[in-house]
């Protein structure tokens, strides 16, 4: 399994598409055996789902993401968990251990616009 966590510095980003990059964790038998960091290639509609699918990502953890983005990731075979916060390494470990409690997305697109506070 490959897990991508949207990050700003070493913290989970509030908005997946506008983060600095992605911490990519390779997991087998509930053990992280590798971590890579990918820079964000840029926020353009529909690009990130394909980009991360090309990198073999199966699961995304982020603070927030718009509903259309979630749909696009799902169409690319990638599961999405939102409302996540904290240090990226700890979040990955908590997910694997079954201790991660996702919450509500920090991103709201009711009007089809950008996330609150992100333009």
The yes-or-no verdict on residue 118 having pLDDT over 80 is no
| Cα four-point dihedral sign 36, 70, 79, 96 | positive
What is the model's pLDDT at position 42?
87
* The Cα angle at residue 41 between residues 66 and 18, in degrees rounded to 5: 35
Helices 67-75 & 47-54 angle (0-180, nearest 10):
40
pTM for the predicted model, two decimal places: 0.85
pLDDT, tens digit, for every residue of 33-68? Answer: 999 999 999 878 789 999 999 999 999 999 998 899
What is the model's pLDDT at position 45?
79
Cα end-to-end distance, the chain, whole Å? 32
pLDDT, tens digit, for every residue of 64-93? Answer: 988 998 999 999 999 999 999 999 999 999
Burial 91-117 (b: 16+ CB within 10 A, else e): bbebbbeeebeeeebbbebeeeebbee
**Residue-range domain boundaries for the chain:** 2-97
Per the model's pLDDT, the better-predicted residue between 40 and 102 turns out to be 40
Name the CATH superfamily housing domain 2-97.
Dinitrogenase iron-molybdenum cofactor biosynthesis domain (3.30.420.130)
């Amino acid at each position: 399994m490959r897990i991508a966590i949207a990050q700003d510095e070493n913290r989970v980003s509030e908005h997946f598409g506008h983060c600095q990059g992605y911490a990519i964790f390779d997991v087998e038998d509930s053990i992280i055996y590798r971590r890579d960091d990918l820079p964000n290639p840029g926020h353009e509609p529909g690009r990130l789902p394909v980009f991360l699918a090309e990198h073999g990502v199966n699961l995304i953890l982020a603070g927030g993401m718009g509903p259309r983005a979630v749909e696009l990731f799902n169409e690319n075979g990638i599961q999405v968990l939102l409302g996540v916060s904290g240090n990226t390494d700890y979040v990955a470990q908590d997910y694997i251990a079954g201790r991660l409690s996702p919450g509500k997305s920090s991103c709201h697109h009711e009007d089809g616009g950008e996330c609150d506070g992100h333009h």
